[in-house]
Chain A
């Protein structure tokens, strides 16, 4: 039993989620979209109509949060934080990466063993070619995408801490994620949901146009 739980706790799939604020927040919002309407539906003290209305409203609110998060926070704040970090901090702290995607790939390589890293760096990238120093055209390799200093880091053995993960850059991206999550979910999503939820409830047949104010009161008092 404990071994099974231990395997889940130390598994790579869970680690991938916990190492990224985006996936954490998205998973948590999905759980809220299931849990909160569920608890409203099992409440016996509310009338059947109110329960359905409140549960649908809560579900739509969480769904709006998820959409806002995916549309706003990931592209704007994450990329914004990466670019801001490049302008603010020195290269020794944040390394030399051309894009956020490249840094994420670098982090993934850092988490593997030294042998795996070297193997991955030597792999060809399909459909791409480069002209090397001697003037010959050849397939592009994974290592061709990295700067020389970053390659040196990746080729370091695992002992003595292994390759530098550039925690300042990682932290800057996480800070951007946190600020974006807070702004997106606590400030922006309620405004969007306010405009979106009532028409959606009318389409679902849970709210009539004339009943809006009455239902609003009902929902809030429950």
Chain B
């Protein structure tokens, strides 16, 4: 049993030692991240369950996109290098080109693809889980005013009967209060 495991391990190590592709490590990291990051997010007790679920799916999707992109870009770059390089340099050049492909994927393609693809995907397949953004409370006068019953205003009638005191004449003064001397 132990000998079997050692032989298998030896074969794995030999293959890895003879042909270790740059895509192996990044794909392994992305695969484990795709499992662990959402799990850690879901374990967070302080967070709102809806937000947790949404974030976990987003994180899982990011890594799910990353794995095939790493593989595809690495292989494509290696094939392109093999096509254009002379035969004696093909093996060395292909491995280096594969690494450059992986770097391009990490620097441009994956972040770009995630920005472009994840939001629409989440919008299409995950209506309920999208946490609502906090609404900014504003005094909404126009919509609220429809429900308020405002009593009909009485028409303002311009009155001509208003008795205004004439300040020029003495008799127009109000005749109450103390009078000192005179009339």
- Among candidates A182, A187, A221, residue contacting B131 with C-beta atoms closer than 8 Å: A221
Min CB distance A191 to B, Å, is: 8
Which residue of the partner chain, among A2, A21, A186, contacts B20 with CB atoms under 8 Å? A21
Q: Is A15 an interface residue (CB 8 A)?
A: yes
The total number of A-B Cβ pairs within 8 Å is: 144
Residue of B nearest to A24 (CB): B22
Complex CA gap A18/B25 in Å reads 12
Q: Select which of B29, B40, B107, B115 is within 8 A of A34 by beta carbon.
A: B107
A88-B17 in contact (CB<8A): no
What is the CA–CA distance of A85 and B12 in the complex, to the nearest angstrom?
13
Cβ of B82 to closest chain A Cβ, rounded Å: 10
* Chain B positions 90-116 with a Cβ under 8 Å from a chain A Cβ: 92-93, 95-100, 102-103, 106-108, 111-112, 114-115
- Say whether B14 contacts A168, CB under 8 Å: yes
Contact B37 A14 (CB under 8 A): no
> Given contacts A28-B26, A32-B106, A172-B13, is CB(A39)–CB(B115) below 8 Å?
yes
Q: What chain A residues lie within 8 Å of B14 (beta carbons)? A: 167-168, 171
Find the residue from A5, A15, A191, A220 having the highest chain B CB count within 10 A.
Answer: A220
Contact check, B16 vs A190: say whether CB atoms are below 8 A apart: no
- A211 vs chain B, min Cβ distance (A): 13
Q: State the main secondary structure of chain A at its contact with B.
A: helix
**C-alpha gap A27/B29 in the complex (Å):** 14
Contact with B along A34-59 (1 / 0, CB 8 A): 11101100010000000000000000
Taking a contact as CB atoms closer than 8 A, the residue among B81, B85, B99 that contacts A24 in the complex is: B99
Report the interface size class on chain A.
35 or more
Contact residues in B for A11 (Cβ distance below 8 Å): 96
A169, B17: Cβ atoms closer than 8 Å: yes
Residues of A within 8 A of B81 (CB): 9
Q: Is A143 part of the binding interface, using a Cβ–Cβ cutoff of 8 Å?
A: no
Residues of B within 8 A of A190 (CB): 36-37, 40
User: Is there contact, CB below 8 Å, between B96 and A216?
Assistant: no
CB-CB nearest in chain B for A39: B111
CA distance A181 to B16 in the complex (A): 15
A75 close to B (CB within 8 Å) = no
A-B contacts, 5 listed (Cβ < 8 Å): A38-B111, A39-B114, A167-B17, A216-B47, A217-B134
Chain A positions within 8 Å of B, measured between CB atoms, are 2, 5-6, 9-11, 14-15, 17-18, 21, 24-25, 27-28, 31-32, 34-36, 38-39, 43, 85, 88-89, 93, 165-172, 174-175, 177-178, 181-182, 185-187, 190-191, 213-214, 216-217, 220-221
